C-alpha cells in the first residue's frame, strides 16, 4: 500500500473514532468457522479471529491487541495503533502499524505490504509476505506540498489563496493526527501517571494554570542565566529538554481529561489510550479552528499548556497525587447541658418537712 493510502486510513480511523464513539467495544467473534462481513473497529480491547473464521472487511484496532489464529482469514487490511498484532493465519491486504509490534508466525501469509511506524516487525521462518516491509520514519508522514503548487496569472488570485489555505490546513491536520497518535502511545506506556495528572487538572484547574503560567514566565529567564554561565550550558540543555517533555505530556493530559469528560457525557467508559487519543485530537482541532478567530487559538493553546504544565509540577510528573483540598464539615453547636434538679427534703417518708417552732 502506498503512503497516501496509509495516511487516508489513519484519517478515516480517527474520523470514525469521532463519528461513532459508542461503537461496541471489542467483541471476539463467536466460535466455529463463521464469516463476518463489514469492517471491524475495536476500541481499547483485544480482538481474536479464531481458526477457520473469516473476516470480509478491514480490521482497525485502537489501543488494543489483535490475533489472527492459524486457519483464520482477513479479506481486508489491518490497521493497529498502540498495541500488538500476532498473525498466524492469512491476511489478504496490507498491515499498517503505528506504535505497535507485529509478529508474523511461520504459518502466516500476508498478501500485501507491512507498514510500520514506531514499532517492530518480527518474522519467523516460513512466513510469507508478497509485498515489502516498510519501516517508516516520522518524517515520512509529511507531504511534499511543493508538488501541489499552481501558477495562476495573478499572485493574489483566489486560486492561489485557496491552494495556500488547503496546504496549511492539510499540514495542520497531519500534525493534529500525529499528536493524537502520540497521545495514544503515551497513555499505553504511562496510564497511571497520566490519570494522576488528569485528576489534578480536574481538581486543581486554577492552581495548575497559575503555576504553569508562572513557570513559562520564569523558566526562560533561568535558562538564559544558565546559558550565559558557559559551564552550565549542559544543565541548560537538560532543563530545556525536561521542560519540553513536561509541556508535551501536560498537553496530552489536558486532552485525556477532555476525553474523560466526553466519555462521561456519553455514559460510557474508555481506557486511558482511547480517552487520550480522542481528547487530544479534539483539543488540537479546537485550537486550530479558534486560530481563525483573532488570537483565540493562541490564548486557548497557552491556557491548555499552562494547565498541563502546572499539573505536571504539582504531581511531580504524575508520580504522586496532589492532595485534595480538605472538606470542611459544619456541625451545629449542641445546647448547654441542663443542671440536675436539687433533691427535696422531708421529715418523714411521704410527708414534707415543716419548720421547727420555738
Mean pLDDT of 201-223: 87
Helical pair 233-265 and 191-203, crossing angle rounded to 10 deg: 80
Q: Among 158-172, 203-217, 235-249, where is mean pLDDT lowest?
A: 158-172
Q: Is the pLDDT of residue 196 over 80?
A: yes
Query: What confidence score (pLDDT) does residue 185 get?
Result: 87
Q: Is the pLDDT of residue 210 over 70?
A: yes
CA–CA distance from 296 to each of 46, 257, 274, 299 (Å)?
A: 40, 21, 27, 5
Chain mean pLDDT for the chain: 76
Q: Name the band, by pLDDT with cuts 50, 70 and 90, for residue 75.
A: very high
Instruction: List beta partners, residue 62.
Output: 43, 81
Copy the grid coordinates of residue 182.
502520540
Spatial contact of 177 and 10, defined as CB atoms under 8 Å apart: yes
Listed by start position, the domains of the chain span: 3-140, 175-315
Query: What confidence score (pLDDT) does residue 106 get?
Result: 93
Q: Name the band, by pLDDT with cuts 50, 70 and 90, for residue 167.
A: confident
Spatial contact of 87 and 66, defined as CB atoms under 8 Å apart: no
Q: Between the ranges 5-14, 238-247, 324-333, where is the mean pLDDT highest?
A: 238-247
Q: Is the pLDDT of residue 246 over 60?
A: yes
Query: What confidence score (pLDDT) does residue 288 get?
Result: 85
CA angle 97, 100, 103 (to 5 degrees): 85
**Separation CA 55–CA 32 (nearest Å):** 13
Q: Is the pLDDT of residue 203 over 50?
A: yes
Classify 293 as helix, strand or coil: coil
Instruction: List beta partners, residue 129.
Output: 110
| pLDDT tens-place string over residues 86-129 | 999 999 999 988 778 899 999 999 999 998 877 789 999 999 99
Q: Is the pLDDT of residue 254 over 80?
A: yes
Amino acid at each position: 500500500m502506498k503512503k497516501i493510502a496509509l495516511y487516508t486510513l489513519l484519517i478515516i480511523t480517527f474520523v470514525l473514532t469521532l463519528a461513532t464513539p459508542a461503537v461496541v467495544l471489542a467483541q471476539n467473534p463467536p466460535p466455529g468457522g463463521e464469516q463476518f462481513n463489514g469492517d471491524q473497529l475495536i476500541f481499547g480491547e483485544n480482538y481474536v479471529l479464531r481458526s477457520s473464521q473469516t473476516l470480509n472487511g478491514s480490521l482497525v484496532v485502537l489501543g488494543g491487541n489483535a490475533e489472527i489464529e492459524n486457519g483464520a482469514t482477513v479479506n481486508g487490511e489491518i490497521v493497529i495503533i498502540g498495541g500488538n498484532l500476532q498473525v498466524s493465519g492469512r491476511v489478504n491486504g496490507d498491515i499498517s502499524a503505528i506504535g505497535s509490534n507485529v509478529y508474523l508466525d511461520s504459518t502466516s501469509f500476508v498478501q500485501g505490504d507491512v507498514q510500520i511506524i514506531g514499532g517492530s516487525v518480527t518474522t519467523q521462518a516460513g512466513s510469507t509476505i508478497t509485498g515489502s516491509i516498510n519501516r517508516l520514519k516520522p518524517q515520512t508522514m509529511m507531504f511534499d506540498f511543493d508538488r501541489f503548487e499552481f501558477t495562476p496569472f495573478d499572485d493574489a488570485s483566489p486560486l492561489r489563496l485557496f491552494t495556500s489555505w488547503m496546504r496549511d490546513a492539510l499540514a495542520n491536520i497531519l500534525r493534529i493526527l500525529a499528536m493524537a497518535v502520540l497521545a495514544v502511545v503515551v497513555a499505553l506506556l504511562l496510564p497511571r501517571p497520566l490519570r494522576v495528572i488528569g485528576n489534578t487538572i480536574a481538581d486543581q484547574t486554577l492552581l495548575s494554570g497559575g503555576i504553569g503560567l508562572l513557570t513559562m514566565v520564569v523558566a526562560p529567564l533561568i535558562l538564559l542565566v544558565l546559558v550565559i554561565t558557559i559551564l552550565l550550558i549542559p544543565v541548560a540543555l537538560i532543563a530545556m529538554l525536561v521542560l519540553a517533555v513536561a509541556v508535551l505530556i501536560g498537553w496530552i493530559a489536558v486532552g485525556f481529561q477532555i476525553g474523560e469528560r466526553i466519555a462521561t457525557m456519553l455514559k460510557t467508559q474508555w481506557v486511558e489510550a482511547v480517552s487520550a487519543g480522542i481528547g487530544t485530537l479534539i483539543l488540537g482541532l479546537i485550537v486550530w479552528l479558534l486560530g481563525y478567530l483573532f488570537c483565540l487559538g493562541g490564548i486557548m493553546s497557552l491556557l491548555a499548556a499552562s494547565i498541563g504544565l502546572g499539573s505536571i509540577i504539582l504531581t511531580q510528573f504524575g508520580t504522586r497525587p496532589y492532595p485534595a483540598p480538605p472538606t470542611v464539615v459544619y456541625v451545629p453547636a449542641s445546647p448547654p447541658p441542663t443542671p440536675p434538679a436539687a433533691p427535696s427534703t422531708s421529715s418523714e417518708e411521704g410527708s414534707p418537712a415543716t419548720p421547727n417552732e420555738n
